[in-house]
Structure 1
Amino acid sequence: MEQAIVAATKHGFTQFAALANERIAQHLSGVTKQSNYYLKDAYDLYDQWAAFGKCRHMMIARPDLFNERIINQSGSTRTNFSIAALDYSSLIKASHSISSKIKLDELIQRLMSVLWKMPELKEVFSSYPKRQNCI
């Protein structure tokens, strides 16, 4: 099985290497130290493959092992993720509070000015007929 993991990793099949590590960990569930080693490797490979949902699932299933782990949220930045500290209702309230202060006209104006600066979209916008009273 180790050879399969090495080969999968070497040839870019990260998801299969992660799955193999996870299955070995399940097989070795009675041997905690070795099982944890394979679970951590599986987590790292799932994270590398950008399977963040799977990483969260592993954190929920084994908080003792992954409590201080880091989840890659956007593919480029890494942030600490603590399930206990995350309060979804607070996030929703904050989101509503922020969005209620935004004026739609200003938001559209800002978005259009950003989009207009993108060369790919400039071509698209210029191909549409011009209308009066458009932003």
Structure 2
Amino acid sequence: MKRLYHLRWGIESSFRKLKYDLGCIQFHSKQDDFIEMEIYAHMIMFNTVSQINAQAYVPQSHCKYMYIINFKMACRIIHKHYNCSSTDIIFLKVLRRISRYTVPIRPGRKDKRNIKVKAPVCFLYRVA
């Protein structure tokens, strides 16, 4: 049972990245078709960021921990350069900028989660 839970953990962490790092909790519409379209757009962006992260170089020095790319910063950098013309120079620039933001992998870390359950909120009803 423990092994099955750990096999599922990658899927759980991917949904957490999709919801919180890409902002898939708050929608721009109330209609179901547009919400579905926005979820698909977030999934495409998630796959794009994941593929670019796989191509970025993460320098591993002789430190205590291994390092990976910070997914949220990668999302912001790619979102900023997404409308630019897709030349190789811009792509290499994005890869270099992404590889600057790394976080350590700390195995066995268990923090208490203080996440309050909230329903999805449309942007029209949010308080500024």
TM bracket, shorter-chain basis: under 0.3
TM-score (norm 1): 0.20
Q: Of Structure 1 and Structure 2, which has the larger fraction of its residues in strand?
A: 2
TM-score (norm 2): 0.21
Q: Of Structure 1 and Structure 2, which has the larger fraction of its residues in helix?
A: 1
Pick the structure with greater CA Rg. Answer: 1
- Return the structure number with greater relative CO, CA threshold 8 A, min gap 6: 2
